[in-house]
Amino acid sequence: MSQPPKTALITGGSRGIGRECALRLAQAGYNVCITYISKPEQARETCSEIENRGGQCSAFQLDMGSREAISEFFAGEIRDKVDLQVLVNNAGMTQDGLLVRMKPEQWENVIRVNLTGPFTCLQQAAKIMMRSRYGRIINLSSVTAQTGNAGQANYTSAKAGIIGLTKTAAQELAPRNITVNAVAPGFIDTDMTGSLPEDIRNRFLEMIPLKRLGTTRDVAACVAFLASEEAGYITGQVLGVNGGLYM
């Protein structure tokens, strides 16, 4: 009986940071599974690029705000189907607003997608990885989790929760040779930040000691390292990819 392919799962892997992580992990020899919530054409483009480079990629639509959908996805597409060695919890969303005006659904939606969703993925992945006594879990946090950010009480709370989740999971899973780390990007040049007014972008640039925006490749390089054998003695850590930015 042949062994299932070693696989990396990247949530929100169709664009931005997630897409670059998928490309890097495919380059490192993993079969890649990516999830997306909308715009299947972007997911197909990402898979096509990986396949054109000689890799393997599968894309799945997944609502990260639904614990039931995540559990069904792992049961139907991951468990006993692939050798899951890497999980990159990348998918997320924003619904910004000043805290005194923030509607309950704005808070609940962001916490559900950005914290409860990653927790559920981590929980499901850990059950699989514990059986094989190997795994690499990388959670995407944010520099705002460490600094706060006006207008993002929901987002910063979720990303701060990711750091706490990472440190706790690292302690619980270390005996099974599973590492759990977080990457906290700073101001990264993505579609989301590209829509900001020029004066706001310039203000952030002035605050970054390296005087440039980060790239998705900067973040993916750190994710790929934490997923590698060389990072086997690193767990429970938060790696900032921020050009020195601490607001």
Residues assigned a catalytic role: 155
Tokens at residue 176, please? 């099974």
CA distances from 91 to 52, 174, 227, 247 (A): 24, 24, 17, 24
* Cβ neighbours of residue 144 closer than 8 Å, sequence gap 6 or more: 152, 155, 156, 159, 247
Q: How many Å apart are CA 7 and CA 86, to the nearest integer?
A: 7
What are 86's strand-pairing partners? 8, 136
Residue in the structure block whose two tokens are 């690193």? 234
Crossing angle (nearest 10°) for helices 16-27 and 40-52? 20
- Strands 178-185 and 57-61 turn out to be unpaired
Q: How many Å apart are CA 202 and CA 184, to the nearest integer?
A: 21
Q: How many Å apart are CA 173 and CA 228, to the nearest integer?
A: 17
Tokens at residue 239, please? 């790696």
Tokens at residue 65, please? 């705000």
Q: How many Å apart are CA 113 and CA 131, to the nearest integer?
A: 27
Tokens at residue 14, please? 């169709």
